[in-house]
A and B are shown apart, each in its own frame.
Chain A
Amino acid sequence: MASITMTINGTTVTTEPGTTILEAAQSAGIHIPTLCHHPALPPVGACRVCLVEAEGSGKLLTSCTTPAAEGMSVRTHSPRVLEARRFVVEMILLRHPLDCFSCPSNGNCELQDIAYELGIEESSFAEEGDTCRDHPLEEDNPYFVRDLNKCILCGRCIRACDSLARYHAVDFHNRGIHTMVHPPADRTLEESDCTFCGQCVQLCPVGALAEKPSRGRGRPWELHPVTTVCPYCGVGCELEIQVNSKTGRIANVTSDYGSPTSLNRGRTCVKGRFAWQFVHSGERLTTPLVRRDGELREASWEEALETAAAGLQRIKSDHGPDSLGFFSSARCTNEENYLMQRLAREVVGTNNIDHCAHL
């Protein structure tokens, strides 16, 4: 199908059929703020922050859902658009607590960014008593806390649970001002179908969902990501370890939903995202140990590997390759397990290879 030519803020943009106005703008380096939108989730056009004006259309359009069309002329920052956008953000800020100072998402909050971009300090419609304080903090599980007072009802957590985790553990409840995100039938999250994979936490644009193990381990701007593979199982999910540059210790684990190379495309399970504390365990071995005279002693890697290789070679020459067996782990990656079987079959010459998932 032929490509589409349109103009955005007077600039000619060429894009493919099926792209949205937002995607077309992004490809041309034009910024349109968003809140409920996330590239990993189906668009819903709920938050109204990305409204733009298109020539010939009376109504403002949500750029995240409206397809780009041939000849379309779009303005993303016209006075009408900015007034509407400012109003929408002021509506979202109406009940949102402005306790950014102590919020875990401070510095990593998309609402904060948009308010900053639009020059909004607080909602001009807000009056005393508007700030939402109705909901008690929910923190009965070891993984994350829910603070519904901060929830802006963008529905990203619901869509993450639906389309990424596929559990549908939460959905919108009630109507109007009483709308809230909740598991069904007044159950708590702990009693629901939630598996605490934590994907909703990462996709929450504000501080309504926050990782528990990360509390006090660093502010967002103190962290730098280190891309690695999850150590928990053979699937080999890619993770982003958020390391505190000051302490050198892990502050959080996230994932990259836009990663072109990962096989999980950002999806994670509860273990990968939340169970990283062992990394800094004092009981963890940090150097190889070699048994000398019946006692384990610290050794260099060269010494340890040489000792192991010499031992294996000795057994092979004395008793034949089938006197050796190789036992790998389901916590290794597929690639590591593959290498292990090549070591067994090709280097040592035995088919005695297995791993713990058979246990």
Chain B
Amino acid sequence: MPTYQRQVLICGGTGCVASGSLELQEALKDRLEACGLTDRVLVLQTGCHGICEAGPIVVIHPEGTVYTEVRPEDAAEIVEEHLRRGRHVERLMQRDIHSFYAGQMRLTLQNCGRIDPERIEEYIAYDGYQGLANALFSMTPEEVVEQVALSGLRGRGGGGFPTGKKWEFCARAGGGKKYVICNADEGDPGAFMDRSLLEGDPNAILEGMAIGAYAMGADEGYIYCRTEYPLAVERLHTAIAQAEEYGLLGDNIMGTDFSFHVHIKEGAGAFVCGEETALMASIEGKRGTPRPRPPFPADSGLWGKPTNINNVETWGQIPQIILKGGDWYNAVGTERSRGTKVFALTGKVNNTGLVEVPMGITLREIIFDIGGGIRKGKGFKAVQIGGPSGGCLTEEHLDLPVSYESLSEAGAIMGSGGLVVMDDETCIVDVARFFLEFTQAESCGKCPPCREGTKKMLDILNRITEGEGSPEDIDTLERLAYQIRETSLCGLGQTAPNPVLTTLRYFRDEYMAHIEEKRCPAGVCQALTGYSIDPDRCVGCTKCAQVCPVQAIQGERGTPHSIDRETCIQCGACVKACPVQAISRS
């Protein structure tokens, strides 16, 4: 067996793959072969490092050097300089990623970016399946449930229901056939923590599910993964096959009487299938629509059998809780929100990516310390937490310690952990409209408040952004929002009005500017903004008129020109053509 001097870890997460990490990997291997270094340097593919913004990411051990934004054409230099001569390629180390990791506490994501997700041996090398072994050989099922309850872990999919309690319900349900399900139907715009975890550490999910199955008396599990995550599905298949080969899944796990089989069900892209009852209907081959509860899945779930459903991130936390004890996990976080939470940090922030932080951290620390602040030095305006079901929080909430309770008091929710940061050039009405457009399109159509009500809200928001709103529209929006929340069947409808309610709560002035002054303060809403030419600056060169595709610009050569706003399609071609910067948007 060759003794490698160095290991080159190349990120194989979807973000880095999209920015060319597979090509980079090929280039590096070709180069190593050409230089005869293949027996001294091992090239490995890992899961996501989190900071997708800086990808593709390459880590070289034993030095621990991190290279960012590496292109295939950089392969030669890395091989020549670093791997042959032992000198850092400084130009690929310019990005400050230390601050991105400094404030984080990576428990769930500990293996992401560290191990090869396609080799179960690497997972095992980092104590993988040790939690399951502990459970099987030294704990009763009741003791496992007790440890999970002690940890204080709450559902990471958005609901925040205490996981230990949920397990207890299912464990107590009558004997016979039971199922455990992993909800991997991640669908919030901008959220990708489940995908990264599945791609980067699939065995942690399988181990978590196996522990849960043992604790609750299930012998079969389903992972409901959206089909838009092909890499996650592929790696799960690989992990299941390897785990079965090692006797860590399947019949008589580790030689015990405990058997557990896992299947993967690919969802067909319906957002509502993330709702547990819709998800189970979908697995059963029915149309994925929610049904009222009771009965709860713990009593009557998949095919009418007692079933426990947890989110990817929740399952991912289980192995370590069992391995290190519930009180170890319980020591992190706030009084009622324990442990860590993974957030997908996106939007107008410098370091976008996946961050795992202890509960109780402030939004300011996440956005400004880890996230590196707002892009291009712009001002912070709001942050949308919890996806389309969440809410927009403002400057005044920046020092709020993040927990299930604090967020919901502020009108938002933890949700699955999407954090979309907005700068002062973002129109808040447009943001609310965007989320309503999403929830309306994804409503399953079963109950009238969600189906008809969100459409009516969207109509009104469209009208306001087009300058056609009236003051009564605000009252109507609020009435609709409260009643949709009150009367909808499932979580999708019950939370769909949240973005509108929070933005009305914190940014009512901005709505009123659209309605009363027909003005979009952020300059985003097309119908309320337009281009105009400053007559003092214009030199009458006609360049703008020449490029205008709709002949909206008039004026004699040598005299100031003007734009007919009715005709203008706001393509912006004139702005680029103007040699004296006389044209601006207002």
Q: Do A and B come from one complex?
A: yes
A residues at B contact (CB < 8 Å)? 44-48, 51, 60-62, 65-67, 83-84, 87-88, 91-92, 94-95, 125, 127, 152-153, 155, 171-172, 174-179
Is there an interface contact between A87 and B451, defined as CB atoms closer than 8 Å? no
Is there an interface contact between B287 and A48, defined as CB atoms closer than 8 Å? no
Is there an interface contact between B489 and A45, defined as CB atoms closer than 8 Å? yes
Is there an interface contact between B287 and A153, defined as CB atoms closer than 8 Å? no
Is there an interface contact between B294 and A66, defined as CB atoms closer than 8 Å? yes
Stretch from B210-218, B237-245, B436-444, B553-561 that touches the partner: B436-444
User: What is the bound-complex CA distance between A177 and B451, given in angstroms?
Assistant: 6
Supply 15 A–B pairs (Cβ within 8 Å), ascending by A.
A44-B291, A46-B446, A46-B447, A65-B291, A65-B292, A67-B294, A83-B483, A88-B449, A91-B452, A92-B448, A92-B452, A94-B452, A153-B448, A175-B270, A176-B454
Is there an interface contact between A84 and B487, defined as CB atoms closer than 8 Å? yes
Contact among B289, B451, B480 for A176, CB-based, below 8 A? B451
* Distance from B169 Cβ to chain A, minimum over Cβ atoms (Å): 16
Residues of chain B within 8 A of A60, CB atoms compared: 486-487
* Minimum CB distance partner of B452 in chain A: A91
What 1/0 flags go to B221-250 for Cβ under 8 Å of A?
000000000000000000000000000000
Contact among A61, A84, A127, A153 for B451, CB-based, below 8 A? A153
Answer yes or no: B455 CB below 8 A from chain A CBs. Answer: yes
Residues of chain A within 8 A of B445, CB atoms compared: 153, 172, 174-179
Contact among B289, B444, B449 for A91, CB-based, below 8 A? B449
Q: Give the total number of A-B pairs whose CB atoms are below 8 A apart.
A: 94
Residues of chain B within 8 A of A174, CB atoms compared: 445
Answer yes or no: B202 CB below 8 A from chain A CBs. Answer: no
B residues at A contact (CB < 8 Å)? 270, 272, 287, 289, 291-292, 294, 440-449, 451-456, 459, 476, 480, 483, 486-489
Is there an interface contact between A94 and B456, defined as CB atoms closer than 8 Å? yes
Residues of chain A within 8 A of B456, CB atoms compared: 91, 94, 125
* Distance from A111 Cβ to chain B, minimum over Cβ atoms (Å): 11
* Distance from A13 Cβ to chain B, minimum over Cβ atoms (Å): 19
Residues of chain A within 8 A of B440, CB atoms compared: 176-177
Is there an interface contact between B291 and A179, defined as CB atoms closer than 8 Å? no
Q: A125-B476, A172-B445 are in contact. List 5 more A-B contacts (CB 8 A).
A: A65-B291, A66-B292, A84-B486, A155-B446, A176-B441
Contact among A62, A152, A171, A175 for B441, CB-based, below 8 A? A175
* Distance from A207 Cβ to chain B, minimum over Cβ atoms (Å): 18
Residues of chain A within 8 A of B447, CB atoms compared: 46-48
* Distance from A1 Cβ to chain B, minimum over Cβ atoms (Å): 15
* Distance from B284 Cβ to chain A, minimum over Cβ atoms (Å): 14
Is there an interface contact between A46 and B489, defined as CB atoms closer than 8 Å? yes
Residues of chain A within 8 A of B291, CB atoms compared: 44-45, 65
Residues of chain B within 8 A of A91, CB atoms compared: 448-449, 451-453, 456
User: What is the bound-complex CA distance between A51 and B294, given in angstroms?
Assistant: 14
Residues of chain A within 8 A of B455, CB atoms compared: 176-177
Is there an interface contact between A87 and B487, defined as CB atoms closer than 8 Å? yes
User: What is the bound-complex CA distance between A61 and B476, given in angstroms?
Assistant: 25
Contact among A67, A84, A172, A175 for B442, CB-based, below 8 A? A175
Classify the interface of chain A: helix, strand, loop or mixed. Answer: loop
Contact among B294, B443, B483 for A175, CB-based, below 8 A? B443
* Distance from A246 Cβ to chain B, minimum over Cβ atoms (Å): 38
* Distance from B113 Cβ to chain A, minimum over Cβ atoms (Å): 37
Contact among A51, A127, A176 for B487, CB-based, below 8 A? A51
Q: Which of A66, A92, A95, A125 lies at the interface centre, i.e. has the most chain B CB atoms within 10 A of its CB?
A: A125
Residues of chain B within 8 A of A152, CB atoms compared: 448
* Minimum CB distance partner of A46 in chain B: B446
User: A-B pairs with the 5 shortest C-beta distances?
Assistant: A179-B445, A45-B292, A91-B448, A87-B483, A91-B452
Residues of chain B within 8 A of A92, CB atoms compared: 448, 452
* Distance from B222 Cβ to chain A, minimum over Cβ atoms (Å): 23
Is there an interface contact between A48 and B449, defined as CB atoms closer than 8 Å? yes
* Distance from B66 Cβ to chain A, minimum over Cβ atoms (Å): 43
Is there an interface contact between A84 and B483, defined as CB atoms closer than 8 Å? yes
Known contacts A177-B440, A177-B455; is-contact A125 B480 (Cβ 8 Å): yes
* Minimum CB distance partner of B488 in chain A: A48
* Minimum CB distance partner of B459 in chain A: A127
* Minimum CB distance partner of A171 in chain B: B287
Contact among B287, B442, B443, B452 for A95, CB-based, below 8 A? B452
Residues of chain B within 8 A of A176, CB atoms compared: 440-445, 451, 454-455
Residues of chain A within 8 A of B287, CB atoms compared: 171-172
User: What is the bound-complex CA distance between A175 and B291, given in angstroms?
Assistant: 16
User: What is the bound-complex CA distance between A102 and B289, given in angstroms?
Assistant: 34
* Minimum CB distance partner of A67 in chain B: B294
User: What is the bound-complex CA distance between A62 and B443, given in angstroms?
Assistant: 19
* Minimum CB distance partner of A86 in chain B: B483
* Minimum CB distance partner of B444 in chain A: A175
Residues of chain B within 8 A of A67, CB atoms compared: 294
* Minimum CB distance partner of A66 in chain B: B294
* Minimum CB distance partner of A85 in chain B: B487
Is there an interface contact between B448 and A47, defined as CB atoms closer than 8 Å? yes
User: What is the bound-complex CA distance between A95 and B456, given in angstroms?
Assistant: 11
User: What is the bound-complex CA distance between A123 and B287, given in angstroms?
Assistant: 30
Residues of chain B within 8 A of A125, CB atoms compared: 456, 476, 480
Residues of chain B within 8 A of A177, CB atoms compared: 440, 443, 445, 451-452, 455
* Distance from A281 Cβ to chain B, minimum over Cβ atoms (Å): 44
User: What is the bound-complex CA distance between A174 and B289, given in angstroms?
Assistant: 12
Is there an interface contact between A48 and B483, defined as CB atoms closer than 8 Å? no
* Minimum CB distance partner of A152 in chain B: B448
User: What is the bound-complex CA distance between A84 and B114, given in angstroms?
Assistant: 53
Residues of chain A within 8 A of B487, CB atoms compared: 48, 51, 60, 84, 87-88
Is there an interface contact between A179 and B486, defined as CB atoms closer than 8 Å? no
Residues of chain B within 8 A of A48, CB atoms compared: 447-449, 487-489
Residues of chain B within 8 A of A87, CB atoms compared: 449, 483, 486-487
User: What is the bound-complex CA distance between A107 and B346, given in angstroms?
Assistant: 56
* Distance from A158 Cβ to chain B, minimum over Cβ atoms (Å): 9
User: What is the bound-complex CA distance between A176 and B456, given in angstroms?
Assistant: 12
Is there an interface contact between B451 and A172, defined as CB atoms closer than 8 Å? no
User: What is the bound-complex CA distance between A91 and B486, given in angstroms?
Assistant: 13
Contact among B294, B448, B459 for A88, CB-based, below 8 A? B448
Q: Which of B440, B441, B455 lies at the interface centre, i.e. has the most chain A CB atoms within 10 A of its CB?
A: B455
User: What is the bound-complex CA distance between A176 and B446, given in angstroms?
Assistant: 8
* Distance from B16 Cβ to chain A, minimum over Cβ atoms (Å): 33
* Distance from A330 Cβ to chain B, minimum over Cβ atoms (Å): 38
Residues of chain B within 8 A of A45, CB atoms compared: 291-292, 489
User: What is the bound-complex CA distance between A88 and B456, given in angstroms?
Assistant: 13
User: What is the bound-complex CA distance between A48 and B485, given in angstroms?
Assistant: 12
* Distance from A219 Cβ to chain B, minimum over Cβ atoms (Å): 28
* Minimum CB distance partner of B288 in chain A: A175
Residues of chain A within 8 A of B442, CB atoms compared: 175-176
* Distance from A134 Cβ to chain B, minimum over Cβ atoms (Å): 13
* Distance from A169 Cβ to chain B, minimum over Cβ atoms (Å): 15
* Distance from B462 Cβ to chain A, minimum over Cβ atoms (Å): 12
User: What is the bound-complex CA distance between A299 and B493, given in angstroms?
Assistant: 71
User: What is the bound-complex CA distance between A252 and B131, given in angstroms?
Assistant: 69
Residues of chain A within 8 A of B459, CB atoms compared: 127
User: What is the bound-complex CA distance between A152 and B446, given in angstroms?
Assistant: 10
* Distance from A177 Cβ to chain B, minimum over Cβ atoms (Å): 5
User: What is the bound-complex CA distance between A92 and B441, given in angstroms?
Assistant: 18
* Distance from B32 Cβ to chain A, minimum over Cβ atoms (Å): 50
User: What is the bound-complex CA distance between A175 and B483, given in angstroms?
Assistant: 21
* Minimum CB distance partner of B443 in chain A: A176
Q: Which of A95, A171, A175, A179 lies at the interface centre, i.e. has the most chain B CB atoms within 10 A of its CB?
A: A175
* Distance from A193 Cβ to chain B, minimum over Cβ atoms (Å): 17
* Minimum CB distance partner of A35 in chain B: B448
Q: Which of A65, A83, A87 lies at the interface centre, i.e. has the most chain B CB atoms within 10 A of its CB?
A: A87
